[in-house]
Each structure stands twice: as C-alpha cells, then as structure tokens.
Amino acid sequence: MSVVDVLVVGAGPAGAAAAIHAADTGLEVLLVDAATFPRDKTCGDGLTPRAIHSLARLGLADEVTRDYRNKGLKLRGFGGSVTAPWPEGHYGTVGSAMPRTEFDHLVVRAAVARGATLWEDATATAVTREGRSIGEVTVRHGGVDKQVRARWILVADGVRSTFGKLLGREWHRGEVYGIAARSYCTSPMSTEPWIHSDVELLDDTGTVQPGYGWIFPLGDGRVNLGAGALSTDARPAKVNTKKLLAHYAARKRQEWQLGPEQDVASALLPMGGAVSNVAGPNWMLIGDAAALVNPLNGEGIDYGLESAEMAVGLLQEGRDLTLVWPHLLRETYGEAFLLARTAARLLTYPTFLPLVGPLGLRGPVGAVIMPAAARLMGNLITDEDRDLIARAWRLSGAAVSRARRDTPLWSTTA
Ligand SMILES: Cc1cc2nc3c(=O)[nH]c(=O)nc-3n(C[C@H](O)[C@H](O)[C@H](O)COP(=O)(O)OP(=O)(O)OC[C@H]3O[C@@H](n4cnc5c(N)ncnc54)[C@H](O)[C@@H]3O)c2cc1C
C-alpha cells in the first residue's frame, strides 16, 4: 500500500501540470500513466498564447518557445482570408507548436524534477468506495497490482477516461463532438511563423464538411497537417477523417511542398464540457476527461493546463469537491463553452456552412467576421477584453446559457 497526498491518474499535459502545481505546494504526489514516456498522442500540436501563458506559470514557456514560435493564425475559406496576429493582451503574443511526443515528455520530466513520483506502465484499474469518496485505487504497475491510498485523486486520463467512467463520468454524445486526424509531413516551410486553418474543408466529392483543415508548422523540418469534422448523434459526420486528411494534404501539397503524410492517426474529441459527474468528495476530473476542449477549434492543451492549476488551488481549501468543482468549471468556462457548442452544432447542419460560409467570410462582412473568427479559434477572448467583439461574444454567451439551462454541462446526477 502506497499512501500519498495526491494521486494523479494520467500524465498528459493536464495530469503532469497538476503534479507540478501540487508538488510545488509541498504535497506528496504520485503520478501514474498507462504508457511509458516518451509516448505519442494524436494532436495538432498547436500551443496558443493561452497555453504558453499557463506554461510560463509552470516555468516551462522558455523551453517550449526556444526553437519555434508563431505569431498568429492565417484563416482561409469560401473566398475570404485573414492574417490575424495573436492579439496583445492577457495571454501575450507568443504561440508555438511542439510534437506531443516531446511536449508531454518535457512536462512529465518537469513534474519529476519538482518532486512528484512517476510510475510508468501503470494503469489505474479499480477503486474502493468509502461513501461517495474514493478509498483505495488499484494501479497495475509493470504487471503487478498495487494499492494506493490518497487524500485526493485527480483524474486526467484523457478523452476516453476509462478510469473516470468507473467513477460515474458520463459523456453526452447528443452534444457536438469532434473527430479528427493528424499527420506529419516534411516541408521547407516548417519555420513559417503562422499557423494555418482552412474552414472550407472539402471531401473527395467536393462536398463541404463541417470542420476545418489545419497546417501547424513545427520548426523542425515538418508540419502537423490534419483535418477534423464536427458531429452529433443526430447528425453524425459521414466522413472518414483519414481520407479527408489525405484529400486536404493533396490540395495543399504544392503550396507547402509537402512530403508524404506520415504517422496518420485519428481520435475523438468530447467538447465543451458535455460530460456529467466530474467530481466526488475527494476527486476531480481535469483536462479532456472533463471535456475541456473548445468546440470551435478542438484545442484542449490550454484548458488542460488551466484546469490542473484550478483543481490544485481547490485542494488547499480542504472542501468536499462534489459540487464545488463543477460549479467552478461552469463559472470559468460555462458561457463560452455553451455558446461555442451551440455555434458548432449549427455547423453540423449540412446546409448551414455552404450557405453562410460564402456570405460571411468574404467581402465587407468577411472583413469584420474573419478577424473575430480568428480570435475565437485562438481561444483568445478573455473576461478582461472590452472591445465590441468580446462584448458581443459574452452577451451571446449569457443569452445562450439562459436559453439552454437544461443542457448537460458538468452536471451532477448522483
Ligand atoms: C486530432 C486532434 C488534434 C488536436 N489538436 C490540438 C491542438 O493543436 N492544440 C490543442 O491545444 N489541443 C489539441 N487537441 C486536443 C488535445 O490533444 C487534448 O485536449 C489534450 O491532449 C488533453 O490533455 P489531457 O492531459 O487531458 O489528456 P491526454 O493528453 O490524452 O493524456 C491522458 C493520459 O492518461 C493516460 N491514461 C489513460 N487512462 C489511464 C489509466 N486508467 N491509468 C493511467 N493512465 C491512464 C494516457 O496514457 C495518457 O498519457 C487535439 C486533439 C485531437 C484528437
């Protein structure tokens, strides 16, 4: 039996960041992951200024931005285009991109350097309950079952959250979710300082799909190229994302002088807080496990890092976390996520994007909408922003929240 203050299940960005924050406050931390690092994770590898801001709080921003930095987003589609530098403001103007094999390893190494104990090849498989609290956790470590008792358990086991499911986590597929594929391609433009998104994503029949294609330069002779589509149970995206990716790569090959797509991998993305039962008296779900992914761009590293810091902040208060944690998530992200989820849901209607895209994204309307869209796609509107777009976004968020009170948003069903 191992006894620690904090057990963190999953050592992706959310779990490893939580381990760092907890160790920094003097807690004894055990970080366990089913994989052995370095390990791959299907991702676009993009790090917005919002993520860099959180990495700075972990003391890791310099390492992540040393070899490659980007300045903003180039967004294209339906005859419109905009180059949107990362805006001055709360998060700073530096973005980056780093293959997850390297990035996640870096954050895990930092967690160990700061005092956390790491078990690799260690899968959390079972729990005993003491009332609604977790008593002991069984961790299969190197083929041997070990018991761990912790005062708090932070669950950062990613999109499928198999451990979270044991605790009652439920994912609502009636809400919008993403399916996406990524690849790596060589390109002489890999030091290009802009990330690129195409919102007019065509399949091989020329039909517009609800989603976007991206090329995120990595600065190491390669780019991360991918394509993602939005889906709901009622209107499932009828696309093979790997084929969509191949088609997108073919369209971009000449412009970017792309090598063949390598390491193609696809994954699901629950989004916008569309999960229930994310906490109990002594446990919380963070990162993807809590569906902390922006429905308008599929980004979740920044929210994973932020939720890690917020969760550790709550531990200090010593309260029952069952209602406190979902309440804090709703306060922090509720309106923005619900609005983004509602907007993303509209995109899943097959007629919406082909109709609205050409009208909205080019000409005089496009000149206003494209920069706003770029800010939204960069997760870069904050509560401190007072400009027209930010105000309109917040007002719409409040209105949608009132209208969709019953929609699942980190709800508690126990
Ligand atoms: C195709 C695609 C593109 C994306 N592009 C971007 C992007 O460009 N930028 C961005 O910010 N986000 C992007 N995202 C989202 C991003 O990948 C996630 O939001 C992010 O990885 C969440 O981090 P996490 O730590 O919560 O989970 P993960 O990174 O998934 O880590 C979970 C960890 O838990 C471990 N684990 C699972 N179960 C157990 C268990 N029972 N016991 C022990 N360990 C366990 C796993 O081995 C894994 O290491 C993308 C996602 C996809 C699918």
Tens digits of per-residue pLDDT, 139-154? 999 999 999 999 999 9
pLDDT for position 256: 98
Tell me the H-state helices in 159-300: 162-166, 241-256
Q: Which CATH topology does 177-269 take?
A: Alpha-Beta Plaits (3.30.70)
| Of 149, 146, 154, 145, nearest in space to 130 by CA | 149
Rounded distance between C-alpha atoms, residue 387 and residue 250, angstroms: 39
Which atom of ligand 1 is closest in space to residue 268's alpha carbon? 53
In the reported structure, the alpha carbon of residue 284 is separated from the centroid of ligand 1 by a whole-number distance in angstroms of 17
pLDDT for position 207: 82
In the reported structure, the alpha carbon of residue 300 is separated from the centroid of ligand 1 by a whole-number distance in angstroms of 8
pLDDT for position 96: 97
Which residue lies with its CA nearest to atom 51 of ligand 1?
43
Measured over the CA atoms of residue 401, residue 407, residue 411 and residue 414, the dihedral's sign is positive
What single string gives the DSSP state of each residue in 313-327? Answer: HHHTTT--HHHHHHH
Strands 262-270, 72-77: pairing kind: unpaired
Number of neighbouring beta carbons within 10 Å of residue 313: 12
Pocket lining: 166 vs ligand 1, CB cutoff 6 Å? no
pLDDT for position 370: 66
Which residue lies with its CA nearest to atom 33 of ligand 1?
10
Q: Spelled out in words, what is the top-level CATH class assigned to the domain 1-68+95-173+270-414? A: alpha beta
Rounded distance between C-alpha atoms, residue 232 and residue 212, angstroms: 16
pLDDT for position 175: 81
pLDDT for position 406: 64
Pocket lining: 32 vs ligand 1, CB cutoff 6 Å? yes
pLDDT for position 359: 64
Rounded distance between C-alpha atoms, residue 278 and residue 260, angstroms: 41
pLDDT beneath 50: ranges in the chain:
none
Pocket lining: 306 vs ligand 1, CB cutoff 6 Å? no
Per the CB < 8 A criterion, the answer to whether 240 and 246 are in contact is no
Q: How is the chain split into domains, by residue range?
A: 1-68+95-173+270-414, 177-269
Instruction: Choose the residue to mutate in 301, 306, 310 for probing ligand 1, maximizing ligand atoms within 8 Å of C-beta.
Output: 301
pLDDT digits (tens, 9 = 90+) for 158-197: 999 999 999 999 998 888 888 999 999 999 999 999 999 9
Rounded distance between C-alpha atoms, residue 304 and residue 299, angstroms: 10
